[in-house]
Amino acid sequence: MIIKKRREVDEINSSSMADIAFLLLVFFLVTTTIDPGEGLTMVLPPYEADQLNKDADEIVKILVQASGQVLFDGEIMVIEQIKENAKNKVQEFQIIKRDDTKQPIFVVITHEKAQYQTFLKVLDQLKLAECKKISVVES
């Protein structure tokens, strides 16, 4: 009777598998492009030194408080009412200045603990009212 010797199965050398996985990871990280997203699109005007000295009637303050409450020129207001009131302020300003191209400056002052969504809703309302001069300030 012939006895067959069993051959030992060679093991696969896995010592370099970690190196290969690391190289593939680095390769894909380097070659992948990441989309930064849209963010807020705002067109900023060129800097003019004379814009720093504005009259009080040219500035409309909108305060976004930490509680979510919004004050439009000192009056508590629901966010949906900002659009209509901003349009009225622009019309009043144009009548006073007797110039249809001029607009007041809407200064949005946000508390540091205010919700970002509330701030964005206020900005959206001002854009819907076609306000051209918007300034953003953190209190």
pLDDT in tens, 57-68: 688 999 999 998
3-state secondary structure of 110: strand
The strand pairing partners of 59, in sequence order, are 105
Where in the chain are the domains?
A: 57-138
If you average pLDDT over every residue of the chain, what do you get? 83
Give dist(CA 96, CA 90) in Å, integer: 10
Give dist(CA 112, CA 22) in Å, integer: 42
Q: Looking at the structure, give the CATH architecture of the domain made up of residues 57-138.
A: 2-Layer Sandwich (3.30)
pTM for this one? 0.61
Position 61 scores a pLDDT of 92
Q: Is the distance from CB of 84 to CB of 72 less than 8 angstroms?
A: no
- What own/partner pairs with CB < 8 Å and gap ≥ 24 does 51-54 have? 54/105
Closest CA to 107 of 45, 65, 58, 42: 58
Higher-scoring residue by pLDDT: 86, 137: 86
The one-letter amino acid at 104: P
* Token output for 18: 């970690």
pLDDT in tens, 97-124: 888 888 888 999 999 899 999 999 999 9
Helical pair 116-128 and 82-97, crossing angle rounded to 10 deg: 50
The one-letter amino acid at 139: S
